[in-house]
Structure 1
Amino acid sequence: MPVSYPITPLLPEIVASLAGHPRLVLEAPPGAGKTTQVPLALLEAAWLGDRKIVMLEPRRIAARAAAEFMATQLGEDIGQTVGYRIRFDARIGPRTRIEVVTEGILSRMIQDDPSLEGTGAILFDEFHERHLAGDLGAALALDVQANLRPDLRLIVMSATLDGERIAQWLDAPRISSPGRSYPVRIEHPPARTQETVEQHLARTVNQALRETDGDILAFLPGRREIERTRAIVERQHEGVEVVALHGELSLAEQHLALAAPDPGTRRVVLATNVAESSVTLPGIRAVIDSGQAREPRFDPQSGFTRLETITISQASADQRAGRAGRVAEGVAYRLWPQSRRLDAQRTAEIAQAELSGLVLELAAWGSEDIPWLDTPPTGAMGQARDLLRRLGALDTSRITTLGRKMLALGASPRLAAAALRAPPELHPLVADLLALMEARSPLRGELGRTDDFRARVAALHLWRDGGARGARAGSADIAALAAIEKAAGGWRRRLGVRTGASGVPHAHAIGDLLAHAFPDRIARRDEGNAMRYQLANGRGARLHENSALHGEPWLVVLDLKLDARDSLIFAGAPFDPRILEIEYSSRFVTERVLRWDDARDIAEAFEERRFDALVLERKSVPVTGADALPALLAAIRAGGIEALPWSETARRLRARMGALRVWRPELGLPDVSDDALLASLDRWLAPYLEGKRRLSALQAADLSQAIAALLDYDQRRALDADAPDELRVPSGMTRRLGYGTLPDDPGASPVLSVKLQELFGLADTPRVGAGRVPVTLHLLSPAGRPIQVTQDLHGFWERTYPEVKKELKGRYPKHPWPDDPWTATATHRAKPRGT
């Protein structure tokens, strides 16, 4: 009797929907059967005819497992009706009608045959993972459907996706399957002080073994954490089978992890996020979730991508927990505080990945205008184009012959460029480098801390030449070397190489090859500091104290830890700089360079020979007046407007201009703010710097004249009339007005500080700005101490003066304190003696 799955009742509706509409969004939880049952159901659809179904599966483990399960259901061997294609491994035949492929394979299929003549449907499984290649594949398929193949069916499937948004993007109907699940109890066992994630998880395994029956699935971010946890659990539980599940396992090891354990044996599966979806793990009753995953993060500013341990999304946490409720009630132990709130969905890889591969694919496609779900970031796209031009894959924006060969090879653009530039006799070594660069380091122990990439090649060759005995005891991970060797074998087949490299390459062979992959990371040792290097991209880097690369004059930097100043080199290799002259002669330039010497306060000129940002030679040359002016202006911009010799006169003139510009905008006075003056140095200050080599040669009087020259005749008259430098007060004296008293408000009322006796007889507050702005009066005692701040002189005389007079007349008896200040004579002196 055929097995029934939760998705089974919906299969006729799915087939019928696709008969009437070429796109569909299918939402179904883990265990519903969508991955294996939907492709089989579509085989007999009338609209499919004799064409095949291609199903995109993001992960290799899941792709193999899904294909093998479907083949078993049909009672066939893999490679007959159902097959798979993943990197370096394909099981398909002339009768294959369902191909399960990984993401890079789908892009190649579409690029090689844009009309997809033999394909009737493409299924995108686990689309919620939002891998870069999956987004590209879906966008290309939509473009094909819109322009070449309106009959092509596209189905997007997932357990946890934003179905409404996806359906709007596709303009497609949605079908949802309820799935089959049992209640899952969520617990948050707290961590202990200074406990590592591996210790916390191992302790929770003990709890789960006591509290539940069946097997345990534990999620960790990567292989390192899995191996450390495995050692702890195996030490504590001899009768428990502990297996790992991650992308670096051999096919046999993957089958072991996915197979049911022997009867009566309890199993603990330690997995990365490959076990979140699309693979069936029988007998799981408890899930332990570290809440972490390891994903690539790209920094467009540096051009480096690093794997970072990140906190998972709520959707991933729900998907992981659901694994505990597939066969019975279960428990999910979450190793983070219950109060922590996770992001709802996983961030799309396209928003945070290095995009050179994507840009190269789009260049080969002939257009970047394809229907994206999320548009690629502009900055990362621009950086990717720059890199591809450096590698020779793009000519301006069009793909070159080399670029097409790079795509056909299937490696990342950097490594493909290095492989295709290498002479044939070095292809065996190239295959090793391709495999090693894409894998984590196989080195362990003390050797595992080396920053010399050549040590990884040496370990692989020692192991290849002598087996386990060839690798130094404890210095290399034999399983990791085996996985790297398998990948190297795949690259050798693509490169047409029969045998692997052996022995020790000459000192510069590895660096010479990798320099073609990382021309922007060429590094030259600093002449003044042997531990510091300057990179061709302009950044600085340094070696760690125990570096194996100490003393090397030239390096190609393969990995580093980013730092705001000088980043730390994690991996590099020395190379022969003569290859730069041979392979990249166009990137050497010789030009005259001007520089400002802050210490000597003088402009200098040099003739420099550079490779990108690396200065190879520099010699001093005479400085002319024309040379000095740009350097002087650059020094002022770097030091800010305060680097100029401002006199009090110039500051006051500038403040008055700034105020009048606000009070009377119709006059069109120039903007004299810091930013505006710096931006227009070439216009207003450059004429006064002509012939000068030092900034100190600019006099304060020159600066005042330069500022005043910004005004025309009418503006200067208006400035004197409406923003005067001083006012005549009733005492007959002139007193300065203070402008710019509020830093953030150039139009603030000017301040007049004046002794009260000098204003007798003045009824109202003086005004400036063509009568629009009252002066702020700081009224002073005869001793110059503040009495009152006001803009209402009339009100002061009327209400406040009697109190002031009462308080101060006895303190200052020699000064007049008339009863009627309105008619009294103003004075700046004390009363004559005897009065």
Structure 2
Amino acid sequence: MKTAPFDLARIGDGLAFAAAVGDLDAALDRSDGAVVSAPPGTGKTTLVPPMLANRTSGRVIVTQPRRVAARAAARRLADLDGSPLGERVGFTVRGDRQIRDTARIEVVTAGILLRRLLADPALDGVGAVVIDEVHERALETDLLIGLLGEVRELRDDLALIAMSATLDADAVAAAVGTTDSPAPIVAQTVPQHPLTERWAPSAAPRLDERGVTRSFLDHVAQVATSAARDAGASADTLVFAPGAREVAEIARRLRGAGGDFDIRELHGQLPAADQDAVIRGREATDPPRIIVTTSLAESSLTVPGVRVVVDTCLSRQPQRDAARGMSGLVTVPTSRSSAVQRAGRATREGPGTVVRCVDERTYAAAPARPAPEIATTDLTEAALLLACWGTPGGTGLRLLDPLPADSLAGSASVLRGLGAIDDDGRATDEGRQLARIPADPRLARALRDGGSLVGGRLAAEVVALLGGQARIADADAAAALVTLRGRRGGDHRAWEQETRRLQRFTASEDSAHRGTDDVGLVIALAFPERIARRVTRGADGATFLLASGTRAGITGPLADAEWLAVADVARASGRAAAGTGAIIRSAAVIDERHVEQAASHLITDRVEAEFADGRVVARRERRIGAIVRSSVPVRVSAQDGQNAVRRAVESGGLGILTWSDAADDLRRRLALLHRQLGDPWPDVSDRGLLAALDTWLGPELAALAGGAPVARLDLAPALRRLLPWPAASEFDALAQERLEVPSGSRVRIAYPPFDDPDARPVVAVKLQECFGWAQTPRIVGGRVPVLFHLLSPAGRPLAVTDDLASFWSGAYAQVRAEMRGRYPKHPWPEDPWAAAPTRHTKKRDASTR
């Protein structure tokens, strides 16, 4: 039976976006996709879904980036429709669902819709999808745009609407549209209520090596109290902090400051009931509220009654360190566009005030926009989803930004280690099983495999702890688990709810609390590459080497452990990092038996040969990734020895070998022939010799592998193996070793360096030995003239020339004038053409006549 349409006039009463509904309706008449751009609070999230529901017989799916926003949007629309929540408008979020088969509109988080697409790629029964808050550039939202673009190629009846308060509309329109034409853009602007800006910088720094400073939190609490008092009893105050820990710290300070205020917290770790209570607002007779929140309330929520915003101008965002193979949340300055969004919370219902806890210069120096999550966060879960979709790496999808290649490569490596994808990047059966578990693939593996090893309850407890945002004191995950088990309250309820949800995905029915000795095993199943062994221990803590090769520091009780399973490691400086540049933020003790159980694919037992200090040495090493468990010297095999020398030469260059004068001279002569004549004369550059290493250096490699020191090798015979036959018979004629000069001396030719193509072959000879020599000699078949360094009797350069005839006719006269007084015993004839060349003094020449 066809259900009654939504009453858009009643739902849109008083909403600014009601004026633009007709424009959107007209845009959808000519296109199955559209982009909606309108300021926060105008009613687009409220009006667009029912308008679409009236156009289609299918269900309308609306995505929100956060669970609290999804629940709030569904409740508000159901209230305006006058229907019970779930009957015509419902929601589905992780761990909570209120919807019936009769519902026309379903509000979900983006992650829910992504997993639903894997199970039902055609989205049967869905007539339209609305992707809200696109400007936040959440990873899951970006992926949805790409995947839904492919769905619409199969279903021309599926409408797709992308909505945002502030966005690059043209770029989004290109992604939402078709290959032939972008989607139409429906934009609406409305007059804004006046906003008063105030600046309240802190005298103390906002951040230090540990994060947000206590003194800055004190300052924010003082500013919030003062601003709330100035606003009066009718206004609520919204305080933006970077994370849940700072929210709790500021709220604690506000409660301790006294005053007739209702202090509330709002962040993603709170139970749903506590979040929803904040969003519902307060009665007029209730005391004014100071609501301390994360970026959760930045744009996707309307918190009623707020007229004052206090902004720390700090945000938490994901960041990946490719060099160390780690990722995590870091505290950074809030972008200016996000700060504008925060300030807008104060003017949704009337004139408002924003107090920023920085000065104007610091605010102006902040980035203009936040970085898209796709560019900064770990992509392992996204990479598995795309592999299951059949588009490894997002190839062929119209995404707002491509996935970064280095991050994607790291994620693919992790997934191959889990057996989730094959060498071509396609999802395996194992990968598809892991993708069905609503968690990061690594945590999914720990949940599934850990359930059979340690019991389903403990595995789910640990995964719920690691997947949440609870702060782990002293980095001790096992101690944090004990604390959560013993608590009653918000943290415990949220963790317990998540534990029960996750346990449904384990094969084990075990539900009893177990000891915490196996916490490390569950963590190691998720992050085998983060198994770590202590390498140093000092007064300030310890340094651990992770199987991935990263070193990280830790303080506290876990510093005494020999082995740790590390769940979270992040970039850091200061004492806790122990000079490593990284700090362990969450870990548990693990024994070696569990190490082998969790990381069997990382265990190696092999002989490692290396070329060091001119000799080949070998050791047998047992490793877990980069961690050496044992190492003993052994006799090296011929093949291992040769490979070690080859690696050393390829990495350190040919300079690690000992080059005699004869070998160096031979290489220079061959290099000149190769430059001048090309083939068949060999390339003896470093690159050329490395490419032909076995050809010319094979016997020497074998000798080194057998233990011979590099100093004993003679490389000249080795290089002669490269001489081409039969052309080799011409070698000494083309690049002779010596040149006979008119005096009868045979002078060595100094050939240019092998890597200097502009240098010339040089003959350094006393000037008197060349009297009468008119024709400058040439080598390499007459192609290359020799450059003469004509020397004094004492061997000092007098002239440099490759034109002897010009020298005798010109410059010689000046040289003679300057030198004959200095060297009177040697001949300096006025006519060098007629003088006999000699290498002796005048007296010795006379005595021999």
Per the shorter chain, which TM-score range?
0.7 to 0.9
State the partner residue of 2:332.
310
Are 2:674 and 1:646 aligned?
no
Are 2:238 and 1:226 aligned?
no
| Shift, 1:383, TM fit | 3.7
State the partner residue of 2:188.
177
Secondary structure of the structure 1 residue equivalent to 2:315: strand
Are 2:387 and 1:375 aligned?
no
State the partner residue of 1:559.
568
**Which among 696, 719, 730 is matched to residue 684 of structure 1?**
696
In 1, are the aligned partners of 2:315 and 2:332 still within 8 Å (CA)?
yes
Of 656-665 and 227-236, more deviation after overlay is shown by 227-236
CA gap of 1:771–1:411, structure 2 versus 1, over 3 A, is same
State the partner residue of 2:749.
737
CA gap of 1:400–1:630, structure 2 versus 1, over 3 A, is closer
Give CA-to-partner distance per residue, 1:501-521, whole Å, 9 cap, x none: 54xx44532223333222333
CA gap of 1:602–1:395, structure 2 versus 1, over 3 A, is closer
**How does the TM-score come out when normalised to structure 1?**
0.84
CA gap of 1:713–1:244, structure 2 versus 1, over 3 A, is same
| Shift, 1:571, TM fit | 2.9
Are 2:589 and 1:574 aligned?
yes
State the partner residue of 2:436.
408
Return the alpha-carbon distance in structure 1 between the equivalents of residues 791 and 308 of structure 2.
82
Return the alpha-carbon distance in structure 2 between the equivalents of residues 746 and 25 of structure 1.
61
Give CA-to-partner distance per residue, 1:585-633, whole Å, 9 cap, x none: 677665x524136369334364x66666666666666544344332333
User: Residues 576-725 of structure 1: matches in 2 within 5 Å?
Assistant: 576-578=591-593, 593-596=607-610, 598=612, 601-604=615-618, 606=620, 622-665=635-678, 667-690=679-702, 692-694=704-706, 696-697=708-709, 702-713=714-725, 715-716=727-728, 719-725=731-737
Identity %: 36
| Shift, 1:695, TM fit | 5.6
Return the alpha-carbon distance in structure 1 between the equivalents of residues 593 and 413 of structure 2.
23
Secondary structure of the structure 2 residue equivalent to 1:515: helix
Return the alpha-carbon distance in structure 2 between the equivalents of residues 129 and 719 of structure 1.
71
Of 286-295 and 55-64, more deviation after overlay is shown by 286-295
**Which among 249, 254, 261 is matched to residue 270 of structure 2?**
249
Secondary structure of the structure 2 residue equivalent to 1:685: helix
Return the alpha-carbon distance in structure 1 between the equivalents of residues 560 and 199 of structure 2.
48
CA gap of 1:548–1:727, structure 2 versus 1, over 3 A, is same
CA gap of 1:580–1:44, structure 2 versus 1, over 3 A, is same
**How does the TM-score come out when normalised to structure 2?**
0.83
State the partner residue of 1:784.
795
CA gap of 1:437–1:586, structure 2 versus 1, over 3 A, is closer
Are 2:49 and 1:22 aligned?
no
| Shift, 1:210, TM fit | 9.3
State the partner residue of 2:739.
727
User: Residues 381-460 of structure 1: matches in 2 within 5 Å?
Assistant: 381-394=408-421, 399-421=427-449, 422-423=451-452, 426-443=455-472, 448-449=473-474, 451-460=475-484
Of 814-823 and 656-665, more deviation after overlay is shown by 814-823
Are 2:525 and 1:516 aligned?
yes
Are 2:380 and 1:360 aligned?
no
Give CA-to-partner distance per residue, 1:305-344, whole Å, 9 cap, x none: 2212234445434433444554336556373636955555
Give CA-to-partner distance per residue, 1:797-816, whole Å, 9 cap, x none: 56654444444443333334
In 1, are the aligned partners of 2:749 and 2:761 still within 8 Å (CA)?
yes
User: Which letter does structure 1 place at the counterpart of 2:466?
Assistant: M
| Shift, 1:641, TM fit | 1.5
For these two proteins, the number of residue pairs brought into alignment is: 805
CA gap of 1:794–1:315, structure 2 versus 1, over 3 A, is farther
The CA RMSD measured in Å over matched residues stands at 4.0
Return the alpha-carbon distance in structure 1 between the equivalents of residues 313 and 835 of structure 2.
84
In 1, are the aligned partners of 2:269 and 2:469 still within 8 Å (CA)?
no
User: Which letter does structure 1 place at the counterpart of 2:166?
Assistant: T
User: Which letter does structure 2 place at the counterpart of 1:225?
Assistant: E
Of 633-642 and 789-798, more deviation after overlay is shown by 789-798
Return the alpha-carbon distance in structure 2 between the equivalents of residues 769 and 724 of structure 1.
9
Runs of 5+ consecutive residues of structure 1 not aligned to the other structure:
468-477
CA gap of 1:181–1:777, structure 2 versus 1, over 3 A, is farther
State the partner residue of 2:3.
none
In 2, are the aligned partners of 1:684 and 1:707 still within 8 Å (CA)?
yes
Return the alpha-carbon distance in structure 1 between the equivalents of residues 97 and 342 of structure 2.
29
Return the alpha-carbon distance in structure 1 between the equivalents of residues 835 and 700 of structure 2.
52
Give CA-to-partner distance per residue, 1:13-67, whole Å, 9 cap, x none: 212222321111222232332222211222222xx12x11101111122222222
Runs of 5+ consecutive residues of structure 2 not aligned to the other structure:
1-9, 178-182, 572-576
Secondary structure of the structure 2 residue equivalent to 1:738: coil
In 1, are the aligned partners of 2:334 and 2:370 still within 8 Å (CA)?
yes
In 2, are the aligned partners of 1:242 and 1:268 still within 8 Å (CA)?
yes
State the partner residue of 1:154.
160
State the partner residue of 2:314.
292
CA gap of 1:267–1:789, structure 2 versus 1, over 3 A, is farther
In 2, are the aligned partners of 1:689 and 1:698 still within 8 Å (CA)?
no
Return the alpha-carbon distance in structure 2 between the equivalents of residues 291 and 674 of structure 1.
55
State the partner residue of 1:472.
none
User: Residues 9-88 of structure 1: matches in 2 within 5 Å?
Assistant: 9-45=19-55, 48-49=56-57, 51-88=58-95
CA gap of 1:229–1:748, structure 2 versus 1, over 3 A, is farther
In 2, are the aligned partners of 1:605 and 1:627 still within 8 Å (CA)?
no
Of 540-549 and 629-638, more deviation after overlay is shown by 540-549
Give CA-to-partner distance per residue, 1:100-139, whole Å, 9 cap, x none: 1112100122222222121100111111222222222222
| Shift, 1:675, TM fit | 3.7
Return the alpha-carbon distance in structure 2 between the equivalents of residues 151 and 321 of structure 1.
39
State the partner residue of 1:484.
495
User: Which letter does structure 2 place at the counterpart of 1:432?
Assistant: E
CA gap of 1:202–1:508, structure 2 versus 1, over 3 A, is closer
| Shift, 1:86, TM fit | 0.9
Are 2:264 and 1:258 aligned?
no
Are 2:838 and 1:832 aligned?
no
| Shift, 1:699, TM fit | 6.2
State the partner residue of 2:485.
461
CA gap of 1:727–1:545, structure 2 versus 1, over 3 A, is farther
CA gap of 1:627–1:232, structure 2 versus 1, over 3 A, is closer
CA gap of 1:455–1:611, structure 2 versus 1, over 3 A, is same
User: Which letter does structure 1 place at the counterpart of 2:675?
Assistant: V
| Shift, 1:238, TM fit | 3.4
| Shift, 1:453, TM fit | 1.8
In 2, are the aligned partners of 1:757 and 1:816 still within 8 Å (CA)?
yes
Are 2:362 and 1:347 aligned?
no
CA gap of 1:245–1:715, structure 2 versus 1, over 3 A, is farther
State the partner residue of 2:6.
none
Of 510-519 and 338-347, more deviation after overlay is shown by 338-347
In 1, are the aligned partners of 2:446 and 2:463 still within 8 Å (CA)?
no
In 1, are the aligned partners of 2:566 and 2:587 still within 8 Å (CA)?
yes
Of 155-164 and 597-606, more deviation after overlay is shown by 597-606
In 2, are the aligned partners of 1:633 and 1:682 still within 8 Å (CA)?
no
In 1, are the aligned partners of 2:455 and 2:508 still within 8 Å (CA)?
no
Secondary structure of the structure 2 residue equivalent to 1:319: helix
In 1, are the aligned partners of 2:314 and 2:332 still within 8 Å (CA)?
yes
Of 821-830 and 489-498, more deviation after overlay is shown by 489-498
CA gap of 1:263–1:725, structure 2 versus 1, over 3 A, is farther
Give CA-to-partner distance per residue, 1:721-754, whole Å, 9 cap, x none: 454444334443333333445x863442234434
